[in-house]
Structure 1
Amino acid sequence: MTARDATGTPVGLTVSAFASLSLDPPLILICLNRDVHDLAVFHAGPFAVNILSEGQQALSRRFAGPREARFLELEVEAARNGCPILPESLAVIECRMESVVAGGDHDIIIGAVTSLRCHPEGRPLIYYAGGYNRLADAPPTAR
């Protein structure tokens, strides 16, 4: 998840709780712990969700690590909404902040999708049960 703070500095972090909320209107949700340093930036919006490909484990770990190293020597492009796009992202979902709902020790940030771009090739990075995993091939469907 990426954004820019009030000074234009890029901010970002790895999130583990992200989901589609609605198709009409297109909404997504992200759950962030209230202890996240840049929480106020994501409350204000806009933001971008960068879906990483299965070969980008190092980038995922980087954005889960120290804040000052996340964008260090990383070439990013700007999304239409001005948010940083991480290199080689499988998909990018640009959002404006729709609302925030309290959920225990987390805030559920609901974003209204303003733009979406996907690369047709590649598989998403999956984090499950404490580690990175591969998405299994689906069996062929009967027609």
Structure 2
Amino acid sequence: MDPVLDQVPTIDATAFKTVLGRFASGVTVITALDEGEPIGFACQSFASLSIDPPLVSFFPARTSSTWPRIREVGRFCVNILADDQTDMCRQLGRPGPDKFTGVEWTRSGNGSPLLTGAMASIDCYLYDEVDGGDHTIVIARVTGLTEHSEARPLLFYRAAFNRLGEQ
């Protein structure tokens, strides 16, 4: 037992979500092709990790049914969403089959779905995974970068989608 950890107070889950919800983040969709079928999930827990080597990270929930399928493929595309892609994000963020019905996409450089209208895309392959409590910490090696538009980003703040103000 660690005497310091024994003294750490219990943190209320609602308070945790409320306080951490004050941190605005961009919104991405992680996509791959599994036997020719597009698969993916919405993910606002995404960050750059390292320039040398070029690494990014994201944090899927352990309950995700899509991440294990993408893990098996081993390569994927991180699509950075624009502020007009809220509906697409909601559609791809829900569980179940047929999430890609009506979603336009092309193939990225590594063959993964690149969502039409995404601001930018990052092709990756799985580099490592680390335990992150009720989430998995995924570390991905970047193999390709594409900037698609100067659109404004879709943001997630206080448990809701938001947009940047006028500049």
TM-score between both structures, scaled by the size of structure 2? 0.76
- Counting only pairs closer than 5 Å after superposition, residues 1-143 of structure 1 correspond to structure 2 as 1-5=30-34, 7-44=35-72, 45-136=74-165
Letter paired with 2:43: V
SS at 1:61 equivalent: helix
The Cα of 1:103 is off from its aligned counterpart by 0.5
Unmatched segments (≥5 aa) in structure 1? 139-143
Partner deviation per Cα, 1:62-87 (whole Å, 9 max, x = no partner): 11124323211322100111100111
| Deviation of 1:39 (Å) | 2.1
What is the root-mean-square deviation in Å for CA atoms of aligned residues?
1.5
Count the aligned residue pairs: 137
- Gaps of at least 5 residues in structure 2 are 1-29
1-side partners of 2:156 and 2:128: how far apart?
26
- Return the alpha-carbon distance in structure 2 between the equivalents of residues 103 and 79 of structure 1: 29
Cα deviation, 1:31-88, whole Å, max 9, x if unaligned, reads 0011101222232320111011011111111111243232113221001111001111
Q: Quick one: distance in 1 between partners of 2:82 and 2:96?
A: 22
TM-score (normalised: structure 1): 0.88
Q: Highest CA radius of gyration, 1 or 2?
A: 2
- Structure holding more helix per residue: 2
Separation (CA, whole Å) in 2 of partners of 1:137 and 1:101 = 39
Task: Please give the alpha-carbon distance, in whole angstroms, between the structure 2 residues aligned to 1:78 and 1:105.
Answer: 31
The percentage of aligned residue pairs carrying the same residue is: 39
